[in-house]
Structure 1
């Protein structure tokens, strides 16, 4: 299996995951009472981390390896998108999720998660499309 195929598989996995988060998971948070959201969210974040963290690390490592071995439009654009996704995740989404876990949610946190997550949804979808275009 080539690095490009492995990257494509990871990018595809992330695209499916982010659309599920965008269309199902984040909107569902709005249906919980504050107390129930706190209980469910702590369980959710622990569980989803076992899916998201390996995918993000794999995507970053493969992106760095690809950029190191070959500098072209695909590897450069991929790294820009991957770094943007890491920054968005850790500077915007982790604090929003932590506000729920700490029982001090920012105002309209559920709506903010959905609204702000469109950026990550577009970026992870774009990353998948870029990988498909590069391989074909």
Structure 2
């Protein structure tokens, strides 16, 4: 059951990050600043309803998997999950805060679009290795 929950979280985050990378963050450049500030406030609240449960689900299932079966998959995937959490809170939360405070707007948008490739790659790798190691026999 943990493997299924993990697959749901990994797949959900994979789909979400590609939508953010290819559609949402690039769209920020098309807004006038006042419109962007209004949209950003709405967007961050709405996306949090999706992201927070998936990220917590992923870190909880990853922790359970490491605890119950320490192997290459669980260690590697857990390190990648830690990488996503660190990048989220050290890079992306401050950039989103800049937009919320209306500070360094252009630079923050540019950094969001560029730096988000890190999370896109990490969540893609997480999903790929989960599918490979946990579901290769299906």
Fold agreement, TM-score > 0.5: yes
Shift of 1:115: 0.4
TM-score normalised over the length of structure 1:
0.96
Aligned residue pairs total 135
TM-score (ref. length: structure 2): 0.95
Alignment pair present for 1:70 and 2:69: yes
* Match in the other structure for 2:81: 82
Deviations 1:55-101 (A, max 9, x none): 10010001001100110001000110001100000010000000000
Q: Given that residues 5 and 57 in structure 2 are in contact (C-alpha distance below 8 angstroms), is that contact kept between their aligned partners in structure 1?
A: no
CA root-mean-square deviation: 0.9
If asked which structure has higher relative contact order (CA below 8 Å, sep 6+), I would say 1
Q: Which portions of structure 1, spanning 4 or more consecutive aligned residues, are displaced by more than 3 angstroms?
A: none
**Is it true that 1:45 corresponds to 2:40 in the alignment?**
no
> CA separation in 2, counterparts of 1:18 and 1:76?
22
5+ residue gaps, structure 1? none
- Corresponding residue number in structure 2 for 1:101: 100
